[in-house]
Amino acid sequence: MENFAATMAQPGYGFFMTLLIGILAGWIAERIASANHGLLTNMLVGVAGSFVGTKLAELLQVPIFGFWRTLAAAVAGAVIVIAIWNAARR
């Protein structure tokens, strides 16, 4: 368990952790934004949202490290991506 906790606290998770965080962030953002998407869309929105959230955190000078802060930034970014997508579709 200590190795898992140490891995999750390190930046640079890699491809599969990025996908996992993206899926989770997309699903959470979907629930927050009252949207209804599939797994692939959730993953894409979550991964795109993680980039948006990370850049937003950099602009606000908020350090992003560890699983929970990375997930929070990804969810915030994914909600922004969903809001922009919904506004563009109208």
Which pLDDT tens digit goes with each residue over 6-51? 545 555 566 777 778 888 888 888 888 887 777 788 778 888 888 8
Hey, what amino acid is at 1?
M
Query: Does residue 74 register a pLDDT over 50?
Result: yes
**Cβ–Cβ under 8 Å, residues 34 and 18:** no
Could you tell me the pTM of the whole model?
Answer: 0.75
pLDDT classification of 1: cutoffs 50, 70, 90? very low
Cβ–Cβ < 8 Å for 30, 45: yes
Handedness of CA 35, 40, 44, 46 (dihedral sign): positive
